[in-house]
Chain A
């Protein structure tokens, strides 16, 4: 009798991981079918944190809806806001001052560093190392302080507005970013020493959760998940926006397609982000931080699409306008949703202990998946 409980006809065990489980990074619910210790199937159940942001945006004006996107992928809120601001600017055909563009890119890259730092800490915690989390948060705290000083909030900044940025940078901004760069460059080798070179970490991640380049494309993955499989997909390179086309940075790629490859791609992206910030921090041009726009924005009839590269992958905003003050329909393409869809494929045949490591390498943010 006991064997029949929770088992399928083939004698496979079905267990629930989540929605409130420390290993699932939020309210993700995974229904895992196991044969012994081997994973047969992983079924993600979504909807626990669905707030119908897309529908909500239809009743908000083009200035107002941007703040809701900070609540989707709360770790790269600047980048989400950037995409929305760019999309509205496409519609109203306004020229953005050079200074605003540079500030936007600077903020984007600082957000990317902060997001990858949190991922690095959480990834190490997933495979059993607790201290790296605190080291990651030490540097992340510096970025949060910079954001707090310039934008007025630590996570949900709502700093990018159609036409530029909301406020000019704080007088301390440049000095504090340079302090951060100095400390961060000093600490990055420490990260590699602690986690990347660790034998236990390597044996937990190497060869685990293999995703081939073809599968990465067919599942629609993007960002470091796809680049870990050798698919070049960096939107900053392929469809550059704002000042990215003038910057020197390289797209980080790895061929192996396993969890360790995705880990390395993100760690290399940290270095590339530092490179971008270094190029811009001393070269912020003088001028306006916001272009003159009308108080009430009205987009012409039509469809608008804008994609950006967030810390997790490709984020897209699709907007239909009927010429009114509010958008007729808004659809967000969130990177986490497509990346999660590849989890089942990656985890099949792996051991249950590897599932958490694979999930960690995807860098899932559940509010981004559910919206």
Chain B
């Protein structure tokens, strides 16, 4: 009886090994099922979904205007102090003082891409960009000023 059980075990093991090998052989001969992406060779054709959260950017239109009013709602919404909005006072032609953004400082090295600042923004001034290759040699390069030099607020955005 011992010998019968022993041989049964061996044939059972070989059988289940062959079942597994059949599956492996199937994928070996059916190349259509290959799903690996050849990054970074496919960089030119790589398209990330539009909602992908890579980094925070500020949209500017053709005449170098943004929509940021400097209300600091994003700064308050950020859980880890990634955003610092430095404001100044613009003097309008009528002589009125108006709050405006001077520097929109964004620390990419602290950002966790939680999307809370985008949700908080009342004027849709900032959005998430799809870029994801953020590595640099100097850490200071990760601290960015998002409003472009010389840019001003778009007409009609309050």
Contacts and interface: CB of A to CB of B under 8 A. Distances in A.
Interface of A: 60, 63-65, 67-68, 129, 131, 138, 141, 148-153, 156, 158, 161, 166-167, 170, 190, 193-194, 197-200, 295
Contacts of B112: 67, 156
A158 B114 contact: yes
Interface string B4-46: 0000010011011101100110000000000100000000000
27 contacts: A60-B79, A64-B78, A64-B116, A65-B79, A67-B79, A129-B20, A131-B20, A131-B24, A148-B51, A150-B51, A151-B51, A152-B51, A152-B128, A153-B53, A161-B119, A166-B119, A193-B23, A194-B19, A197-B16, A198-B19, A198-B20, A199-B12, A199-B13, A199-B15, A199-B16, A200-B17, A295-B120
Given A67-B114, A166-B119, A199-B15, 10 more contacts: A60-B79, A67-B112, A141-B35, A149-B51, A152-B113, A152-B128, A167-B51, A193-B19, A198-B19, A199-B13
B16 A200 contact: yes
A194 B79 contact: no
B53 A194 contact: no
B49 interface: yes
Contacts of A197: 16, 19
Determine which residue in A152, A166, A167 has the highest number of CB atoms from chain B within 10 A of its CB, and name it.
A152
Nearest to B14: A199
A150 B51 CA distance: 7
B89 interface: no
B77 interface: yes
Contacts of A161: 119
Contact of B23 (A68, A151, A194, A295): A194
B120 to A, nearest CB: 8
B119 A153 contact: no
Contacts of A156: 112-114
A152 B116 contact: no
Determine which residue in B19, B77, B79 has the highest number of CB atoms from chain A within 10 A of its CB, and name it.
B79
B119 A64 contact: no
A325 to B, nearest CB: 10
The 10 closest A-B pairs by CB, nearest first: A64-B79, A152-B51, A67-B114, A149-B49, A152-B53, A199-B16, A158-B114, A198-B16, A199-B13, A199-B12
B87 interface: no
